[in-house]
Amino acid sequence: MKKTPNLTHLKSSGEAHMVDISEKPITSRIAIAVGSISMSVDSLAIINSRRAAKGDVLSIARIAGIIGTKKTSEIIPLCHPLSLSSVSVDLSINEELPGINIAVTAKTTGKTGVEMEALTGVSVAALTIYDMIKAIDKHMVIGDIRLKLKDGGKSGRFEV
């Protein structure tokens, strides 16, 4: 029989709580999350040519992704606030999708990982793109948001 994993954010009584990380060692940590937003060819052309009415979609989405990463503990209830040492948001045009591929890398030196920060950064960047283009394309699809890599801490390296 397969062992049920220990859900660290739940007490044995089932109540949610913030995990106590006070005894964990400080280690270097990194996480990379990816996702995409698909859209019409016309919408992608407008983004690529920087002709969107609301401004430069990719530049604004990049900044929004960084802000989302930094604000993760404010919007995900049981996340610890982290001091991030680096955040990068990479947005690339994907003509085949058609759409935009999003990758966020978050780094810290601390007692807990940065997976949620990277995932939140991808989500916020995608939502910003959606917001800026929704007037011309309501059929956009945000998807495939997932953790690609995490390293550091007790559980070690995870990579897809």
List the catalytic residues. 131
Q: Quick check: 43 and 141 in contact, CB under 8 A?
A: no
Q: How far apart are CA 143 and CA 126, in angstroms?
A: 9
Q: Quick check: 112 and 28 in contact, CB under 8 A?
A: no
Angstrom CA distances, 60 to 24, 89, 91, 108, stand at: 36, 11, 11, 24
